[in-house]
Chains A and B, each alone.
Chain A
Amino acid sequence: MSEPKSFRRTHLDGHLLHPSTQMMSYGYDASMSEGAVKPPVFLTSTFVFKSAEEGADFFDVVAGRKPAPQDGGAGGLVYSRFNHPNTEIVEDRLALFDGAERALVTSSGMAAIAAVFLTHCRPGDAIVHYSPLYGGTETLLGKVMTGWGIKPIPFVDGLSDSMLLYALEKAARHGPVRIVYLETPANPTNALIDLKMVRRVVDEWSSVSGQTPIIVCDNTMLGPVFQNPIRHGVDICVYSMTKYIGGHSDLIAGGITGSAALLKPIRQSRSAFGFQLDPHSSWMLARSMETLTLRMERAAETGVKVADWLASNSPIPCKILHPLHSKNAAEREVYARQCSGPGSTFSMVVADDRALAFRIVNGLQLFKLAVSLGGTESLVCHPASTTHSGVPADARARAGVTEGLIRLSVGLEHPDDLIADLRIALDKAARG
């Protein structure tokens, strides 16, 4: 392999560069764009070939008939549904940050998940999945994929190898198990899955069953700053890049990271289905990723302060579902091993009473009542009536998504202001 080009430099002489540094420059060569320090927005749908031979060559690569060049790029630019410079900058940076060989960017988080499922599953297959998942994923698995003859089998304890094994065996009775699908920390309960355990159980089961499901993990909540599941044995990560990575609540995007071999067919699907992200959003994402580390670190710090305050001062008794407030020793051990920070999305659980929960969320002023998370502005949502309302009531109950569960996404505001907002709303709600 030739010396990496300077715009894909990973070291300064012997010094390994941090991802937070690389988000400003990796994957972009200013000298190819008039010296512009920032990448232009390439608002183009198509790219001119230098010759017919070059066009044929580039098509062979995007169609998967020839391997991509070895320098880490995705081959020549053809048409913006296949590949695009603004998208590739984001993909290079996401892969680097996640410790993955490759990344793909999609038009939404759901497009990323759908692209993985539609690439790696066929009618008659089964998917083993953790529950609860983000409501949209639960809907895709439970209502859409079932229509394609793909059977979802849930498991609800991410720390227990016997429950996972039970789910694998149960799923295998329906058909080949292609995917083990995870989301950790869980949305909105913050329950953790032990990724190393999942890798081990799946490997052990594979050696017995002869089946080799791909382990896919939704890393939206902590990644790529606080958790890199690929380093813990996961094969593919999916992201809603709308959340922390986009970080400003002003774009919709998704991402996939993993090995070149696993992502190659997903790239083909993305092109075939048209799940690509537009150039403008890609450019905005690159801009967002420059501050990703700062935003996630600050929001996490503030989130801990808010969670601590709620745990000890809330005028309405509540349980805090925050990784640092977990009472489960096994979960705390997993957190210490697997995560380098708690993120800033967590839940407070008051009595199982919709009216009380609504009084609290309606009383908040700085926390805006809206779905989504991971933006600079703090948001609050009531999952049972919104993001998770499509999940059957018994599944919601099993997962602990009660009427009293309120999810907070803590942003970049001053912690004292957020605490004041909560104090005022909780005092008011307590008075009835």
Chain B
Amino acid sequence: MSAPLPNRDRLATRLIHAGQSPDPLTGAVITPVYTSTTFVQDGIGRNRGYDYTRSGNPTRLVLEACLADLENAGAAFAFPSGLSAAATALELLPAGSRILAHTDVYGGIHRLLADVRTHTAGHQVRFVDFSDSAALEQAAESGADMLWFETPSNPLLRIVDLAAVAHIAKRIGAISVCDSTFASPCGQLPLDFGIDVVMHSATKFLAGHSDLLGGVLAVSAEAPEALTARVRYLQNALGAVMCPIDCALLLRSLKTLSVRVDRQAANAAILAQHLAANAQALGLSEVIYPGLASHPGHAVAARQMENFGALISLKLTGGLERVERVLSSTRLFQFAVSLGGVESLIQHPASLTHAVIPQDQRAITGIGDDLIRLSVGIEDAGDLLADLLNALT
């Protein structure tokens, strides 16, 4: 009988072992942190695989091997933030390229696309609702070089059909990039659906403790080899690399990703169901959670996701005054941006994460002043519910 191959192991096992074998020199069970910036060369053109940490670092390489394994990717690359990963991915495109992007994206991505690269690279950026297949098909008719989307999207938790986007991208010859931050590899594996590149803000679920910034690009093994090689080249050329200490901390975080996300998604489902069932009494005009049967993307989510994630968005009645009162009166849900950590957070997209998006566009997308986004942590579900009910009533 042959030994089990690492990539045949279940995700929970791969989170702990993929890419990580005990240190050959010392036997250390945990990957050493190589903070060294530079490596002694054995001779001209001869070294142990490393010369300078921007170009390659033993700790980062272990992390990247693990991340690639988790995403079923050909290769993965670790960046110092989600936005630096996104910025590097955009460098795949020559100046004047056409980008078709989802209307509902994180404000920072919107800024990068619409307010930075349009000027500096002359890209033509068009926004369309990727969760609306007909609209996406129609927009793709006129061609694009890159399709950029999130699913579930931020903050409206729209679900984009991964296979459908992959299909369109292949048909029109575009690179498809899915920001999978809201799902994590425990929630969905976009590359398995034919997407070319997965992006993460590793700051969120992957790190899970709200104590490091990071970004990831994972490139499909099915994508042309040139794409992987180019991302590797750009990571070094642009210099956006995660520092070794954060790489080690992120490896540590990954070991608990499955237990964290399982609990977070289970907690979110409990809260969403309770809030939806009592929406009127609690002064909620809408409860948005892909796990609810009423969510328009529920069927697609059920098909392509392992769970429905840990984000819930709420629309409140009672105006901005009530919104502010709720935001400032939860005690376990802390009023802070970011998401995916073990501690629950509550935030107000219109004034914070999505403030950079012009108000008229926010209005079209549905990011009003009445919208609150919850990131559900691993606390006891009963405690979280008590906190929300206290704040809402």
Question: What residues of chain A have their CB less than 8 Å away from a CB belonging to chain B?
Answer: 6, 9, 12-13, 15, 17-18, 20-21, 24-25, 30, 35, 37-38, 248-250, 287, 290-291, 293-295, 298, 365-366, 368, 370, 375-377, 379, 411-414, 416-418, 420-421, 424, 427
Residues in chain A near residue B13, CB distance under 8 A: 366, 413-414, 417-418
For the complex with contacts A291-B342, A413-B9, 7 further pairs of A-B residues with Cβ separation under 8 Å are A12-B383, A35-B336, A290-B343, A291-B256, A295-B256, A368-B29, A417-B4
Whether the Cβ atoms of B211 and A24 lie closer than 8 Å is no
Given contacts A12-B383, A412-B256, contact A294 B390 (CB under 8 A): no
The one of B3, B255, B334, B342 in contact with A376, judged by C-beta atoms closer than 8 angstroms, is B255
Q: How far is the CA of A426 from the CA of B32 in the complex (A)?
A: 31
Residues in chain A near residue B331, CB distance under 8 A: 6, 9, 12
Residues in chain A near residue B10, CB distance under 8 A: 413-414, 416-417
Whether the Cβ atoms of B336 and A24 lie closer than 8 Å is no
Q: How far is the CA of A379 from the CA of B16 in the complex (A)?
A: 12
- Judge whether B213 is part of the interface by a CB distance below 8 angstroms: no
Nearest to B11 among chain A residues (CB) is A414
Question: What residues of chain B have their CB less than 8 Å away from a CB belonging to chain A?
Answer: 1, 3-4, 9-13, 15-17, 22, 27, 29-30, 209-211, 252, 255-256, 258-260, 263, 331-332, 334, 336, 338, 341-343, 345, 377-380, 382-384, 386-387, 390
The one of A9, A250, A411, A417 in contact with B252, judged by C-beta atoms closer than 8 angstroms, is A250
Whether the Cβ atoms of B16 and A377 lie closer than 8 Å is yes
Taking the closest CB of chain A, its distance from the CB of B354, in whole angstroms, is 20
Residues in chain A near residue B16, CB distance under 8 A: 376-377, 411-413
- Listed from nearest, the 3 A-B pairs whose CB atoms lie closest are A414-B10, A21-B379, A413-B13
Most chain B CB within a 10 A radius of its CB, from A15, A24, A25, A38: A24
Residues in chain A near residue B378, CB distance under 8 A: 20, 24, 290-291, 293-294
Q: How far is the CA of A418 from the CA of B256 in the complex (A)?
A: 17
A sample of 26 cross-chain residue pairs with beta-carbon separation below 8 angstroms, ordered by A number, consists of: A12-B387, A13-B386, A17-B383, A18-B380, A20-B378, A21-B379, A24-B342, A25-B332, A25-B334, A25-B343, A37-B336, A38-B210, A248-B255, A291-B256, A291-B342, A293-B378, A366-B4, A366-B13, A366-B17, A370-B22, A375-B29, A414-B9, A414-B10, A417-B9, A418-B13, A427-B1
Residues in chain B near residue A21, CB distance under 8 A: 332, 379-380, 383-384
Q: How far is the CA of A6 from the CA of B22 in the complex (A)?
A: 43
Q: How far is the CA of A35 from the CA of B337 in the complex (A)?
A: 12
Nearest to A378 among chain B residues (CB) is B16
Q: How far is the CA of A73 from the CA of B227 in the complex (A)?
A: 56
Q: How far is the CA of A414 from the CA of B12 in the complex (A)?
A: 5
Given contacts A21-B332, A377-B17, contact A15 B256 (CB under 8 A): no
Whether the Cβ atoms of B260 and A291 lie closer than 8 Å is yes
Q: How far is the CA of A293 from the CA of B267 in the complex (A)?
A: 15
Residues in chain A near residue B383, CB distance under 8 A: 12, 15, 17-18, 21
Taking the closest CB of chain A, its distance from the CB of B373, in whole angstroms, is 16
Residues in chain B near residue A417, CB distance under 8 A: 4, 9-10, 12-13
Taking the closest CB of chain B, its distance from the CB of A381, in whole angstroms, is 12
Taking the closest CB of chain B, its distance from the CB of A424, in whole angstroms, is 6
Taking the closest CB of chain B, its distance from the CB of A291, in whole angstroms, is 5
Residues in chain A near residue B209, CB distance under 8 A: 38, 287, 290
Most chain A CB within a 10 A radius of its CB, from B16, B210, B341, B383: B16
Taking the closest CB of chain B, its distance from the CB of A42, in whole angstroms, is 14
Given contacts A18-B382, A424-B3, contact A248 B210 (CB under 8 A): no
Nearest to B379 among chain A residues (CB) is A21
Whether the Cβ atoms of B263 and A294 lie closer than 8 Å is yes
Residues in chain A near residue B15, CB distance under 8 A: 412
Taking the closest CB of chain A, its distance from the CB of B254, in whole angstroms, is 9
Taking the closest CB of chain A, its distance from the CB of B12, in whole angstroms, is 4
Residues in chain B near residue A377, CB distance under 8 A: 16-17, 29, 255
Whether the Cβ atoms of A30 and B334 lie closer than 8 Å is yes
Q: How far is the CA of A251 from the CA of B209 in the complex (A)?
A: 17
Given contacts A365-B3, A417-B4, contact A249 B30 (CB under 8 A): yes
Q: How far is the CA of A376 from the CA of B211 in the complex (A)?
A: 20
Given contacts A18-B380, A376-B256, A377-B255, contact A24 B30 (CB under 8 A): no
Whether the Cβ atoms of A290 and B342 lie closer than 8 Å is yes
Residues in chain A near residue B27, CB distance under 8 A: 370
Residues in chain A near residue B256, CB distance under 8 A: 291, 294-295, 376, 412
Q: How far is the CA of A17 from the CA of B382 in the complex (A)?
A: 9
Q: How far is the CA of A131 from the CA of B35 in the complex (A)?
A: 44
Nearest to A363 among chain B residues (CB) is B3
The one of B4, B210, B259, B338 in contact with A294, judged by C-beta atoms closer than 8 angstroms, is B259
Taking the closest CB of chain B, its distance from the CB of A379, in whole angstroms, is 8
Whether the Cβ atoms of A420 and B332 lie closer than 8 Å is no
Q: How far is the CA of A421 from the CA of B342 in the complex (A)?
A: 31
Residues in chain A near residue B260, CB distance under 8 A: 291, 294
Q: How far is the CA of A416 from the CA of B10 in the complex (A)?
A: 8
Q: How far is the CA of A252 from the CA of B341 in the complex (A)?
A: 25
Nearest to A421 among chain B residues (CB) is B4
Taking the closest CB of chain B, its distance from the CB of A9, in whole angstroms, is 7
Whether the Cβ atoms of B259 and A368 lie closer than 8 Å is no
Residues in chain B near residue A25, CB distance under 8 A: 332, 334, 343
The one of B22, B377, B379 in contact with A18, judged by C-beta atoms closer than 8 angstroms, is B379
Residues in chain A near residue B341, CB distance under 8 A: 37
Residues in chain A near residue B377, CB distance under 8 A: 24
Residues in chain B near residue A293, CB distance under 8 A: 378
Whether the Cβ atoms of B4 and A365 lie closer than 8 Å is yes
Taking the closest CB of chain B, its distance from the CB of A29, in whole angstroms, is 12
Nearest to B264 among chain A residues (CB) is A294
Most chain B CB within a 10 A radius of its CB, from A38, A413, A418: A413
Residues in chain A near residue B342, CB distance under 8 A: 24, 290-291
Given contacts A9-B331, A249-B29, A368-B22, contact A412 B255 (CB under 8 A): yes
Whether the Cβ atoms of A412 and B259 lie closer than 8 Å is yes
Residues in chain A near residue B252, CB distance under 8 A: 248, 250
Residues in chain B near residue A295, CB distance under 8 A: 256, 259
Taking the closest CB of chain B, its distance from the CB of A269, in whole angstroms, is 31
Nearest to B377 among chain A residues (CB) is A24
Q: How far is the CA of A290 from the CA of B256 in the complex (A)?
A: 11
Taking the closest CB of chain B, its distance from the CB of A47, in whole angstroms, is 23
Most chain B CB within a 10 A radius of its CB, from A6, A30, A376: A376
Taking the closest CB of chain A, its distance from the CB of B100, in whole angstroms, is 35
Taking the closest CB of chain B, its distance from the CB of A86, in whole angstroms, is 13
Nearest to B380 among chain A residues (CB) is A18
Q: How far is the CA of A298 from the CA of B256 in the complex (A)?
A: 10
Q: How far is the CA of A37 from the CA of B208 in the complex (A)?
A: 13
Q: How far is the CA of A249 from the CA of B256 in the complex (A)?
A: 13
Q: How far is the CA of A17 from the CA of B12 in the complex (A)?
A: 29
Q: How far is the CA of A123 from the CA of B240 in the complex (A)?
A: 61
Q: How far is the CA of A17 from the CA of B379 in the complex (A)?
A: 9
Nearest to A375 among chain B residues (CB) is B29
Nearest to B336 among chain A residues (CB) is A37
Q: How far is the CA of A366 from the CA of B17 in the complex (A)?
A: 8
Whether the Cβ atoms of A24 and B379 lie closer than 8 Å is yes
The one of A6, A20, A365, A414 in contact with B379, judged by C-beta atoms closer than 8 angstroms, is A20
Residues in chain A near residue B390, CB distance under 8 A: 12-13
Most chain B CB within a 10 A radius of its CB, from A35, A291, A295: A291
Q: How far is the CA of A366 from the CA of B4 in the complex (A)?
A: 9
